[in-house]
Amino acid sequence: MDTRRAGLLLLILFGIAGLAWNARVSRAVETAPAPVQGSLTELQESKTTPAQLRQGQSAGYNALSDEMKQIVGELTDVVVLRTWATPSWLHAVSATAKDHASKELRTQKLRECPLTLLAQWVFDEGCVGDFTFAIDIGMNMGWFTALAAASGLRVLAVEPRQSPLRYMEKTVALNGWQGRVELRHGGLAEATGQLYVDESRWWETRSASREGGEGRSAAQALRLDDAVPPDSKVCLLKADCRGCEAEAFRSGKELLAAGAVQVVQMEYNHSPVAQAALETLQQLSPRPWQCILLPAGLRCAGADLLDAEGEALREIWDFIVAGVYVDCRAEKLVQTAPEQVVRGYHTDLWLVHDDTMDRLRAEPRFVAASQRVAEAASQQCEYSASETAEQGVCDLLCHEFTTLEEAQRACDVRPSCTKVLPRGDGFELRGGSAPGSAQVFAYLKLACKMT
């Protein structure tokens, strides 16, 4: 396929994919269960109390009861919502902010569904004994801080920006988590002192630094070993601080050396900075890590979390099973990335010790997904265009070709394919979500049959 034709086909497919994704989101909103569609007008008339908000519902400032208004205080630019996650909680978010995290919370009452699903398992069953503490480095809107607190864990949350901290303070108060959640205004560093952050450009790499200047607000540089209470046993350490992960791990070298962290979660964009963070974590840890790579772009709607046997959650468990890597070294994970990593490309990396992985392998949903993966490995699949196709386990595993030319032709017409690799006597496609298009849900459909 020549370059011009390939480029035109890619444009057409991305357009179809975008329409399919938008249509899927629209359908998810329009077909929400009746209790979730309680109109804002009704809530305004009754002056909403916490008990009246059901999962998936929200109320603006004017609809809140006097008690709730007193809690949110000066934050009149606020929506209070009850999340889809279980256990559910009340979450305060800006009513007008245009960043992706705020908009997703307002509209979906949910953040990062695949990560939420795995975090729920970690909090419920993955951590045993006295591992009852969680650390959220780069808290952002506080979704994982709140999920941990709602699950009964004590939490230390670190965030250099003031705006999300103000809203998270209200979330803590709305749920009565004072004493359970500690919010710290700052960033992790090897040495204490002063950091500065440009709150208008927080999404950029390493937004918090030692350099001040116009438009940059001050935040505290914290060491993890100083911030975490002595003898804490950490169930989950989430590190998402735009490039500071290696330094954050080094600031907690005593915590890590003591084997006091059971699970680590971080964004992994296959860059030298991410590789250095992974290597730092492994060097500081006395026990080896196994890992799970979840591709960016996996999605589910809020109501899907209530349907444990539903197709959406089955698909996520399929990817969890397929994403297990026992050998979790940076040089091995390079094989899972495109040859040229573009900006925005990443996978969500979970690191667990052997005992936690053994518990995960015994989880009934993991066992069922393993059986589906085994069945998929014996299928033969072909690609065809479809506006409503969704990437499933067969798209991840059933893509072997006997010749390099055949594999390359299939890769050329599949936007999510990033490279072709040899596999045994044949070749396979690699790529997961298309680079730079994590919001796109549908590409091409696989028609599979048993061999």
Read off the pLDDT band of 59 (50, 70, 90). very high
How far from 402 is each of 42, 112, 379, 385, CA to CA, in Å?
61, 37, 14, 22
Instruction: Specify the pLDDT at position 195.
Output: 83
Query: Is pLDDT at 5 greater than 60 in this prediction?
Result: no
Distance CA 237, CA 155 (A): 10
Q: Give pLDDT, residue 424.
A: 65
Least confident range from 147-161, 371-385, 429-443: namely: 429-443
Residue range 189-237, pLDDT digits in tens: 899 888 888 766 544 455 677 777 776 788 899 999 999 998 999 999 9
Mean local confidence (pLDDT), 65-80: 94
Q: Whole-angstrom Cα distance, residue 392 to residue 399? A: 12
pLDDT value, residue 297? 66
Mean pLDDT of the chain: 78
Helix, strand or coil for residue 223? coil
- Per-residue pLDDT, 410: 72
Of the ranges 16-20, 159-163, 360-364, 432-436, which one carries the lowest mean pLDDT score? 16-20
* pLDDT in the model for residue 20: 37
H/E run at residue 148: helix 143-150
**Peptide bond preceding 87 in cis form (omega within 30 of 0):** yes
What's the pLDDT at 156? 98
At 37 the pLDDT is 36
pLDDT over 60 (residue 35)? no
d(CA 154, CA 235): 10
% the chain with pLDDT above 70: 71
274-312 residue pLDDT tens:
999 999 999 999 999 999 988 776 778 888 888 888 888
Q: CA 165 to CA 159: how far, in whole Å?
A: 7
Cβ neighbours of residue 435 under 8 Å, at least 6 residues apart? 338, 341, 342, 344, 345, 418
pLDDT of residue 311: 84
CB 183 within 8 A of CB 156: no
Question: Residue 32 and residue 388: Cα distance in Å, rounded?
Answer: 20
Q: Which residues pair with 383 in a beta bridge?
A: 446
Structure confidence at residue 34 as a pLDDT band (50, 70, 90): very low
Q: What is the 3-state secondary structure (H, E, C) of 111-169?
A: CCHHHHHHHHHHHHHHCCCCCCEEEEECCCCCHHHHHHHHCCCEEEEEECCHHHHHHHH
Give the end-to-end CA distance of the chain in Å, rounded to a whole number: 29
Give the lowest-confidence range in 86-100, 320-334, 415-429: 415-429
Question: Of residues 359 and 196, which shows the higher confidence score?
Answer: 359
> In this structure, what are the phi and psi dihedrals at residue 35, rounded to the nearest 5 degrees?
-60, -30
* Lookup result for tokens 């059971």: 262
**Would strands 154-159 and 181-188 be described as parallel, antiparallel, or unpaired?**
parallel
Would you state the pLDDT for residue 253? 96
Judged against a pLDDT cut of 70, whether residue 107 lies above it is answered with yes
Residue type, 306: L
Which domains are present in the chain? 3-28+377-450 (no CATH), 29-107 (no CATH), 108-368 (3.40.50.150)
1 pLDDT above the threshold of 80 = no
Does the pLDDT value for residue 421 go beyond 90?
Answer: no
| Least confidently predicted of 149-163, 190-204, 341-355, 417-431 | 417-431
Give the pLDDT score at 409: 76
Count CB-CB contacts under 10 A for residue 124. Answer: 13
User: Can you tell me which residue has the tokens 């459909």?
Assistant: 445
Is residue 273 within 8 Å of 246, Cβ to Cβ? yes
- Greater confidence (433 vs 209) lies with 209
CB contact at 8 A, 249 and 281 = yes
Give, in order, the Cα–Cα distances in Å from 269 to each of 243, 352, 419. Answer: 10, 19, 17
**Residue 78, class by beta-carbon neighbours within 10 Å (0-12 exposed, 13-18 middle, 19+ buried)?**
buried
Angle, vertex CA 418, rays to CA 414 and CA 420, nearest 5: 95
Q: What are the residue ranges of helices labelled H in 50-93?
A: 66-72
pLDDT tier at 9 (50, 70, 90 boundaries)? very low
Taking a C-beta distance cutoff of 8 angstroms, is the pair 236, 263 a contact? yes
Q: What is the mean pLDDT of residues 255-262?
A: 96
For residues 186 and 157, what is the distance between their CA atoms, to the nearest angstrom?
10
Q: Using alpha carbons, list the distances in angstroms from residue 336 to 86, 146, 247, 340.
A: 32, 31, 25, 12
More confident residue, 446 or 9: 446
**C-alpha Rg value of the chain to the nearest Å:** 22
Selected residue with higher pLDDT from 411 and 108 = 108
